[in-house]
Structure 1
Amino acid sequence: MTSRLIEVVVDCHDPERLAAFWSAVLGWEVIDRDGDTVEIGSWDPTAEEFRARQMPPTLIFIPVPEGKTAKNRLHLDVSPVEGTTEDEVTRLLALGAKRSEHQTEGASWVVMTDPEDNEFCVLRTLDR
Structure 2
Amino acid sequence: MASRLEWVTLDSADPRSLAEFWCDVLGYVIYQDKNGLTVEIGPDPESPDEQRLAELRRGPAVPSMVFVLSQDPKGHKNRLHFEITPIDRRHDEELERILALGAVRTDIGQEENQSWTVLADPEGNEFCLARSLAPGEFEL
Whole-Å separation in 2 of the counterparts to 1:79 and 1:51:
25
For 2:83, the aligned partner's letter is D
Query: Match of 1:18, SS?
Result: helix
RMSD: 1.5
Per the TM alignment, residue 83 of structure 1 is displaced from its structure 2 partner at its CA by 2.1
Amino-acid identity (%): 41
Whole-Å separation in 1 of the counterparts to 2:63 and 2:103:
22
Match of 1:78 in 2: 84
Runs (5+) with no aligned partner, structure 1: none
CA offsets 1:23-72 (integer angstroms, 9 cap, x no match): 00000101122341011111445444322332111011111110100100
Match status 1:121 vs 2:122: no
Whole-Å separation in 1 of the counterparts to 2:111 and 2:92:
16
Whole-Å separation in 2 of the counterparts to 1:126 and 1:52:
25
Match status 1:63 vs 2:63: no
Runs (5+) with no aligned partner, structure 2: none
* Structure ID, larger Rg: 2
Query: Match of 2:39, SS?
Result: strand
Match status 1:13 vs 2:1: no
Q: TM-score if structure 1 supplies the norm length?
A: 0.91
Deviates more, 1:46-55 or 1:29-38: 46-55
For 2:13, the aligned partner's letter is H
- Residues 49 and 98 of structure 1: is their aligned pair in 2 closer, same or farther, counting only changes over 3 Å? same
* Structure 1 segments (4+ residues) deviating >6 Å: none
Whole-Å separation in 2 of the counterparts to 1:54 and 1:6:
9
- Number of corresponding residues: 128
